[in-house]
Amino acid sequence: MKLYSFNRRRIFIVFLFILGVGLFLSGRLAYLMIYKAEHYSALADSLHERERSIKAPRGKIYDRNGNILADNRAVCSISVVHSQIEDEEAVISALVSHLEIDEEKVRKKVEKVSSREIIAVNVEKSLADEIRKLNISGIKVDEDYKRYYPYGSLASKVLGFTGADNQGIVGIEVSYDSVLSGTDGSINAVTDAKGIELVEFSESRINPIPGDDLVTSIDLNIQRYATQAALKVKEEKNANRVCIMIMNPQNGEIYAMADVPEYDLNNPFELNYDAEVTEDNQMDLLNNMWRNFNISDTYEPGSTCKIITLTTALETGAVTEANTFFCPGYKIVEDRRIRCHKTTGHGSEDLVHALMNSCNPAFMEIGERAGADALYEYYRKLGLFDKTGIDLPGEGSSIMHNLEDVGPVELATMSFGQSFQITPIQFITAISTVINGGNKITPHIGTGVIDSENNTITPLEYPLIENAIKEETSEKVRGMLEKVVSEGSGNKAAIPGYRIGGKTATSEKLPRGTGRYISSFIGFAPADNPQVIAIILIDEPEGVYYGGTIAAPVVKEVFENILPYLGIEPEETSEVSTDETGE
Amino acid sequence: MRNDKVHDHVEPASDNLHVSGTIWTKGGYVDYPFVAMVLLIVFIGLIMVYSTSSYRGMDLFGDSTYFAKRQLIFALVAMAFAYMVSKMDYRIVAKYSGLILVISMILLILVYIIGTASHGSSRWLYIGPFGFQPSECAKVALIIYTAATCTVNTKSLNSIKGVAKIMFLPLIAIVLIAIENLSTAIICFAIVFIILFVASPKTWYFVVLAIIGVIGCVLFIAFAGYRADRIRIWLAPEKYPDGYQTMQSLYAIGSGGIFGRGLGNSIQKMGFIPESHNDMIFSVICEELGIFGAVCIIGLFIMFLKRCMVIAVNASDRLGGLLVSGVMAHIAVQLIINISVVTNTIPPTGVPLPFISYGGSSIVFILIEMGLIMSVARRMKFGR
């Protein structure tokens, strides 16, 4: 019985069929392994690779002289990986003994079937290293960074702090978050299906890129003086809060910004005063503590704002230095009798003396002559309608009458700084423009960014509007304000040998008649070429509340300390020599 | 035309298997190219079983060579069987083809009664400590039975009735297998089908048979719930959790690239592909050896099958040609299904890669079939 040729042919057909399918499957393999290779190998890699992130350190914050205001401390986070635990008891006892935490809690987390449970964060590196050395499988120690503020509460409201993920929460930590935060790196280790790393495969590592450093205009020493002075007067006058800002009026660089009481940046969630804390009000209380009055809150500027009324009137030619005014102790506006702080009246006085006396009826007159339109135009030019654009989050807006609602009474009260509210930062910026020759500056904290990779500094630029007001007006006002300090109501700010300009204010808080005041003083030096401007606000002082009496001396004290420090030398005057010989 | 001619050549049916003498043959031609190719494929299989099972062996038994050692023993035992079978006269073996098929069918029934469940289906029988799958045995029995019957009843091949008569017992065996293991049943059906195709002078009823087979499969799939799930997995393995194995296989294949990660460097075998030394071994071959290695192995199989074809075509008699065709069909169908499953070309099903996948029954019965081919080769006459 033999095999016929058709049988042979059929065997050959079967083989051809097999060959065809074999070729088809090879083609299918080629499709999967060449055309789709990238797709599947990427999926496979993501399956095999366990990414461990390497935290990037956040950029440091420097003061203007290179002192570190915000730094990083290496800390560790401890977690357990359930699938890698071999001896649960060993893991639990090691964690409990080293971290001093509740055994029940640890046990729960260790026994929980999850890919990863975090046991503790912000563990000191030395302690974490001890745990790492135990080499117990299942315990993972990951390095992290925690923000650290070497000076505690200093400049807390400016700097702000960061949250659990090192993200900025308030202050310049927020406004420069994108600059300061780095890019986390990662280690991609190849693991088997259980997640155990396979040492035979090289791990790919992407190094973290540290955040860029920020250089600020803050001067550590000036900030300290300012804070100390503020604390001292707060204590003396048992005030609610005391705000001080010290700035370069020429370019808007802020040397110091304090709003005492400050809070501990290293424990920002701890209230700095005793209060009934409930879950509902906790966040409000904390927000209130973190709030920076200097930029977020508004107040009636009071008499210091006479500077702006004066500037407006001088610019528009409504008054000149030759004008004289008469103060009987009040002024009747429509049906209202608005009193001067000196009820007996200042009598006849020229423009300079009206300012030196801070005479309300004279300024109502000046405001009336300038008119509401002009006053508003200059409010606008000096930035009282806009935010200053300072590089801090949470800047407040001013509260103003609508121009069409401004009647004679409103105009009169606005002329001496009442019936509208502005923020301290708006005010110091406006006055800087008035005294620096008329250039509208942008107040700011950040001055430069240091690139973490190539270490180069990129200066930060801010808008500047030149000649917002005339140079000669600025000069006139400076001169008059110098007189206020040397001979007028601001005389308690005078320092022998220095030419200081300034203006006091005492504003009664709303509602009126409750005896709550904000005493303030704004001063600058040298009066002929201002290099530094300072504003102080004392919120609800007890006892004597006149700005000239309690606020001006604080600025004097600060200036006494910082003027020489800033390289502003006293001029040789007879008073200095008298003092010297007197000793 | 040619089909009609066949009638002239038909010899009396009763004479067909009349072979005298002992079952053992001495001497004869040894087809060394064939033997070499079988040994090479088995060797590659052992290496790949070691590579794919070392992680699992370490994990389960603390011994990376656990599975490889067992497979080596299976392979050696299987080779001994193959040698023994190659020494037998296949013509005498074929005389007992009916008995062999009946025994294997009894084993198939036995497995449902006392079989041990593995992977959810009862497929294993144990004789003492040795377990084996009766369905593997049934494949060999079906090859021998169908080839022998087609040799004896040449006339029947010309009528549907005759073919139906030949198919009667094999179909019962296939249904018995299909109850628990559809893929093996399909393989068996394909083997029987190919032997009939080779043996028969007619063409048209193979078309009918093929259609019946396809319809049967479709109906079975439609009515057997868990198989319908497989269609769903096949179409979109990434969407379903039970498409895990298919996706893992594709990950392995796709990450192989041109030359692969290198022998022993698969990551997918590290617990991602469950039991990567079994049915999914080809995906790890792809991952480690790349498309280059994978196509080389497919090429080796094709060369091996071509050698089978040469032996079949040159077999000294009709029985030998049909036997070799059946074995060739078995290896080819299993190879095709395995690679198709691994590449998600067809719905997932568990079919081992012949010679290479880990498993005692599989390699023992496949090498017994190799013994049959070698036995046929001994009587081979070149140049007819």
Tens of pLDDT, residue by residue over A296-335, are 999 999 999 999 999 999 999 999 988 999 999 999 998 8
Give the angle B146-B149-B151 at the CA atoms, nearest 5°: 110
Q: Is A565 on the interface with B (CB under 8 A)?
A: no
Q: Give the list of residues 6+ apart from residue A454 with CB closer than 8 angstroms, or none.
A: none
Name the B residues in 318-377 with CB < 8 Å from any A CB.
318-322, 325, 328-329, 332, 335-336, 339-340, 343, 345
- Average pLDDT value for chain B: 84
In a domain, residue B18? The reply is no
Name the A residues in 151-190 with CB < 8 Å from any B CB.
190
Q: Is B64 on the interface with A (CB under 8 A)?
A: no
Burial of A411 (0-12, 13-18, 19+ CB in 10 A): buried
Q: Is B85 on the interface with A (CB under 8 A)?
A: no
Q: At what angle do helices B66-87 and B360-378 cross, to 10 degrees?
A: 30
Partner-chain residue, chosen from B257, B290, B332, that has the shortest CB–CB distance to A18 = B332
Partner-chain residue, chosen from B255, B290, B294, that has the shortest CB–CB distance to A44 = B255
User: Residue A66: how many CB atoms within 10 A of its CB?
Assistant: 8
**Does B55 contact A192 at a Cβ distance shorter than 8 Å?**
yes
In a domain, residue B26? The reply is no
Tens of pLDDT, residue by residue over B123-182, are 677 666 667 788 888 999 999 999 999 888 777 777 778 888 888 899 999 988 888 788
Q: How does strand A68-80 pair with strand A117-124?
A: antiparallel
**Could you tell me if A185 and A209 are in contact, meaning their C-beta atoms sit under 8 angstroms apart?**
yes
- What residues does A483 pair with on adjacent strands? none
Mean pLDDT across B309-332: 93
At B10 the pLDDT is 40
Q: CA-CA distance, B191 to B214, in Å (whole number)? A: 15
Kindly report the nearest CA distance between residue A19 and chain B, in angstroms.
7
In a domain, residue B25? The reply is no
Q: CA-CA distance, A450 to A445, in Å (whole number)? A: 15
In a domain, residue B123? The reply is yes
In a domain, residue B169? The reply is yes
Number of A to B CB contacts under 8 A, please give it: 148
At B7 the pLDDT is 41
Residue of chain B nearest A36, judged by CA positions: B254
Check residues B75 and A120 and name the one with the higher pLDDT. Answer: B75
Tens of pLDDT, residue by residue over B20-63, are 567 777 777 888 999 999 999 999 999 999 999 988 888 788 88
Tens of pLDDT, residue by residue over B220-231, are 766 665 666 777
Kindly state the percentage of chain B with pLDDT values over 70.
Answer: 88
* Residue segments in chain A with a per-residue pLDDT below the cut of 50: 574-583
**Does B298 contact A25 at a Cβ distance shorter than 8 Å?**
yes
A127-131, A475-479, B267-271, B346-350 — which one is most confidently predicted on average? A475-479
Residue A407's φ and ψ, nearest 5 degrees, are -95, -175
At residue B310, does pLDDT exceed 80? Answer: yes
pTM comes to 0.63
In a domain, residue B12? The reply is no
In a domain, residue B249? The reply is yes
**How many structural domains are present in chain B?**
1
**Segments making up each domain of chain A, as ranges:** 53-85+92-186, 221-265+298-565
At B15 the pLDDT is 42
- Write out the catalytic residue numbers of A: 303
At residue B8, does pLDDT exceed 60? Answer: no
Q: Which residues of A touch B318 (CB under 8 A)?
A: 1-4, 7
**The CATH number, out of the four listed (3.40.50.10470, 3.40.50.300, 3.10.20.740, 3.40.710.10), of the domain defined by the range A221-265+298-565:** 3.40.710.10
**The CATH number, out of the four listed (3.20.20.140, 3.90.1310.10, 3.20.20.70, 3.40.50.2300), of the domain defined by the range A53-85+92-186:** 3.90.1310.10
The one-character DSSP state at B13 is G
Kindly report the nearest CA distance between residue B291 and chain A, in angstroms.
6
